[in-house]
Structures are given as C-alpha cells and as structure tokens.
Amino acid sequence: MRETPAVVKKAQKPPNQKTPKKKVLGNKLLPVPVSTGASPEVIDRLWTVVLGRRTADPAVSHSARLLSRGTAKVAQKFGEESVECIIEAVAGNKTALVAESADVLYHLLVLWVSAGVHPSEVWTELERREGVSGIVEKSARRALATVAATRKIP
C-alpha cells in the first residue's frame, strides 16, 4: 500500500492574532507587538473583581484584607511591589519582571479601589496626554502643581 504524501498547508495564525503593524516614534518605525489573545480589558475586569471584594471577608480574600487596612497600607504595599518590579528590570530577569509587573498592576488596582479611582478616569487622562510630547506634558504638570499647591511625598 502506497502512502500519500502529507499535504503541507500554509501556516495559519490563530483567529485572535493580528498581523504585526508598525508604529512611528520620532523618525523610527517600530513593530507593534502581536496580540496573544490577552487584552488590556483584563485590567477593567480585575478592577471590578477588586471593587466587589471591598465587602468580602478579609479571612478569605486577599483584596479584602488589603482594603481593610486602609489606603496608606495599600499604597505602601503598592510601593513594595513596585520596588520588586524595578529590581527584576535592573537584573534583566524578564520572566520575573513579567510576574512582578502583574503584581504591580494588581496592587495599583487595589489602590485605585481604596482611593475611589475608576479606571476610566485614568484612561481619560492617558487619552488627554496621547500625542503630547512628554517634555511638554511634564512641564505643564509642574506648572499645575505650583498652582494647585500639591507636593510629592518626600
């Protein structure tokens, strides 16, 4: 019996994967990462989960335990996670950086819930800044901070 040769098909990408595009930064053309199926909407979903945990039992929910300690403690925990993320970035440990980045985002969401910030407020601010030079935007923030008499924590 003679075997028929296997048909070689053109490699197909998964339906949720898009063709890489290019993004212009200054005068450089940069590749835009191809989606793996995960999306930024996961942040909104996680915020909703954390928001729902405000009234949960701190003995069974890590989010509830963090939130029960107050905004200052939540902010402290966010800071600790941020430092861990920085350490992994400096060490060049990409796998740990990804894991620590997820921790930072989670703790940032807990901080937003604790402080009464909705993600849409942050998305609106990011959209406002989109297309504005970082130097110009930072300069405008300095001027606003002077007018608003806000200050950074020493």
Distance of alpha carbon 46 from alpha carbon 51, whole angstroms: 8
- Residue, of 7 and 39, whose pLDDT is higher: 39
Full DSSP string of 56-123: S-TTT-HHHHHHHT-HHHHHHHHHHHHHHHHHHHHHT-HHHHHHHHHHHHHHHHHHHHHHT--HHHHH
Q: Are 112 and 119 in contact (CB under 8 A)?
A: yes
Domain boundaries, the chain: 42-148
pLDDT at 25 > cutoff 80: no
Residue 29 pairs with which residues in a beta bridge? 24
Average pLDDT, the chain: 80
- 103-127 pLDDT tens trace: 999 999 999 999 999 999 999 999 9
Q: Which CA distances in Å does 42 have to 12, 39, 58, 89, 119?
A: 26, 6, 23, 23, 12
DSSP 3-state assignment of 27?
Answer: coil
- 69-94 pLDDT tens trace: 999 999 999 999 999 999 999 999 99
What CATH number does the domain located at 42-148 have? 1.10.287.1080
Distance of alpha carbon 106 from alpha carbon 52, whole angstroms: 14
pLDDT at 151 > cutoff 80: no
H or E, element range at 138: helix 134-148
Q: What is the pLDDT of residue 117?
A: 96
Q: Are 27 and 46 in contact (CB under 8 A)?
A: no
